[in-house]
């Protein structure tokens, strides 16, 4: 081997070593979401599939305090590439501060076509461009019950719901399972109640104006919604353990009273994600949807309150573009839905994937019927936070309602008009 050959060999070895070192630094996309526990496992399955398909590594962080974590990261100039937010109101704040990247040119036409009109509007977050993709959705206008333990006819009107609750209480049976604990967002289960009552009593147009900050909290309609909820849950014997026990009960634990013998409570106003807990309630003999638990729509039926987890893109990189397109597609949402029938996609093509009658009913509602989005999720963060707190204060002392509504309206008036989202409702 002459000198020149040796030199060439040395250069080749150096180049190979160099390329090896470079390939060790794999392309990575960072993701932040609120999912922990089982939900995190499901979401990681989606991310694993993405990694397998693209070779792009992911770095996932999950926290229930996703808003706080994200705010801190954005403030430090180090946001994740992709964040999955449970509330469009937060996403809107990042759109206004130009932190988010529009997705109009990012998503493939097939992916965009898979969403119905209501979801397409939501994904624009009050703008003309698409800024988010709904990766998981939930139906909120539903009241769960155990068919084997409650044979009452379903209420078709608000008055019938009030009558049912009063009749059960009078019979010494506790109608409502209720839990407000959801730190750091304790109180949201109560806001769902108020929203549902208001939406079904005052209609989508009023609801839209109220969630958009155009209606005072002190108007008779809003006050009536609070009072109706108070009638249902703050009376003696109306809630398992009493309404103050509801303050200390985590929302995830409230429904277990449906399955005790004798039942601790007979009805739970809770979103479709309760399915997974209900199925797990009797671990030895898995609870069967439609037999051990079922739901009826919040009366009167016709319009439904829904919520969504929205994926948004902070850093516009090829890796984050690839991931958000993947998350919005059928494959990812099918993986996330898994085989448990508990997770719902907004994509129309996946509505019939569910196997049991309860899940199919929920999926069809989420992709077909007229929908209105969770108002507290649409409101600016200070209003949302105050709404949560007001619910807790009201449960503790319903007599404070007037003062609470005035406080809430003071906060509403202090928020600039451009910070409110105006999202169509019931269309």
Site residues for another protein per CB under 8 A: 20-21, 24, 30, 32, 36-37, 59-73, 179-181, 183-184, 186, 240-242, 244-250, 253-254, 256-257, 264, 389, 392-393, 396-397
Give 240 or 354: the residue with its C-beta nearer to another protein: 240
- Strand-pairing partners, residue 84, are 311
Give 183 or 220: the residue with its C-beta nearer to another protein: 183
Whole-angstrom CA distances from 91 to 97, 206, 262, 335, 378 are: 10, 23, 44, 25, 9
Give 242 or 424: the residue with its C-beta nearer to another protein: 242
Give 106 or 185: the residue with its C-beta nearer to another protein: 185
Give 118 or 239: the residue with its C-beta nearer to another protein: 239
Give 58 or 206: the residue with its C-beta nearer to another protein: 58
The least distance separating another protein from the CB of residue 179, rounded to whole angstroms, comes to 7
The least distance separating another protein from the CB of residue 230, rounded to whole angstroms, comes to 16
**288 burial via Cβ count (<10 Å: 0-12, 13-18, 19+):** middle
The least distance separating another protein from the CB of residue 63, rounded to whole angstroms, comes to 4
The least distance separating another protein from the CB of residue 135, rounded to whole angstroms, comes to 19
The least distance separating another protein from the CB of residue 388, rounded to whole angstroms, comes to 11
Nearest to 426 by CA among 157, 198, 102: 198
The least distance separating another protein from the CB of residue 252, rounded to whole angstroms, comes to 8
Angle separating helix axes 330-337 and 37-54, nearest 10 degrees: 150
The least distance separating another protein from the CB of residue 368, rounded to whole angstroms, comes to 34
**Which residues, in sequence order, are CB contacts of 278 under 8 Å at separation 6+?**
144, 255, 258, 259, 287, 289, 292, 293
The least distance separating another protein from the CB of residue 124, rounded to whole angstroms, comes to 28
Give 250 or 331: the residue with its C-beta nearer to another protein: 250
The least distance separating another protein from the CB of residue 233, rounded to whole angstroms, comes to 14
Joined tokens for residue 255: 């429904």
Task: Compute the distance between CA of residue 64 and CA of residue 9 in angstroms, rounded to an integer.
Answer: 55
The least distance separating another protein from the CB of residue 244, rounded to whole angstroms, comes to 5
- CA-derived radius of gyration, the chain: 24
Give 239 or 421: the residue with its C-beta nearer to another protein: 239
Give 186 or 345: the residue with its C-beta nearer to another protein: 186
Give 256 or 341: the residue with its C-beta nearer to another protein: 256
The least distance separating another protein from the CB of residue 349, rounded to whole angstroms, comes to 32
- Strand-pairing partners, residue 32, are 61, 83
Which single residue is written with the structure tokens 């739901």? 295
Give 38 or 224: the residue with its C-beta nearer to another protein: 38
Q: Other CB atoms closer than 10 Å to residue 305's CB: what's the count? A: 24
């Amino acid at each position: 081997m002459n000198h020149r050959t040796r030199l060439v060999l040395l250069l080749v070895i150096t180049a190979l070593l160099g390329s090896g070192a470079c390939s060790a630094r794999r392309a990575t996309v960072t993701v932040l979401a609120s999912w922990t526990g089982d939900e995190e496992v499901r979401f990681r399955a989606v991310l694993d599939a993405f990694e397998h398909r693209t070779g792009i590594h992911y770095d996932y962080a999950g926290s229930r305090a996703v808003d706080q974590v994200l705010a801190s990261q954005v403030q430090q100039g180090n946001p994740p590439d992709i964040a999955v937010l449970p509330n469009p109101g937060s996403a809107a704040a990042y759109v206004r501060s130009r932190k988010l990247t529009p997705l109009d040119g990012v998503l493939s036409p097939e992916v965009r076509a898979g969403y119905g009109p209501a979801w397409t509007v939501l994904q624009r977050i009050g703008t003309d461009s698409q800024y988010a993709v709904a990766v998981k959705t939930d139906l909120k206008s539903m009241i769960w019950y155990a068919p084997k333990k409650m044979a009452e006819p379903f209420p078709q009107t608000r008055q019938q719901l009030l009558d049912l609750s009063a009749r059960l209480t009078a019979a010494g049976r506790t109608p409502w399972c209720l839990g407000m604990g959801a730190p750091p967002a304790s109180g949201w289960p109560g806001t769902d109640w108020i929203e549902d009552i208001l939406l079904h009593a005052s209609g989508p147009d009023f609801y839209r104006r109220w969630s958009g900050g155009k209606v005072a909290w002190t108007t008779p309609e809003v006050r009536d919604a609070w009072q109706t909820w108070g009638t249902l849950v703050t009376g003696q014997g109306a809630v398992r353990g009493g309404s103050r026990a509801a303050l200390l009960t985590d929302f995830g634990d409230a429904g277990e009273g449906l399955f005790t013998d004798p039942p601790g409570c007979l009805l739970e106003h809770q979103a479709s994600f309760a399915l997974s807990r209900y199925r797990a309630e009797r671990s030895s003999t898995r609870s069967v949807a439609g037999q051990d638990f079922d739901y009826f729509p919040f009366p009167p039926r016709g319009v439904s309150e829904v919520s969504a987890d929205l994926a948004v893109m902070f850093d516009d990189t090829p890796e984050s573009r690839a991931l958000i397109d993947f998350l919005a597609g059928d494959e990812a949402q099918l993986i996330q839905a898994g085989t448990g029938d508990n997770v719902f996609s907004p994509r129309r093509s996946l509505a019939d994937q569910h196997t049991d009658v309860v899940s199919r009913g929920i999926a069809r509602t989420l992709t077909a019927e007229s929908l209105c989005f969770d108002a507290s999720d649409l409101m600016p963060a200070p209003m949302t936070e105050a709404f949560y707190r007001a619910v807790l204060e009201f449960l503790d002392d319903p007599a404070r309602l007037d003062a609470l509504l005035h406080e809430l309206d003071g906060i509403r008036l202090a928020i600039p008009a451009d910070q409110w989202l105006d999202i169509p409702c019931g269309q």
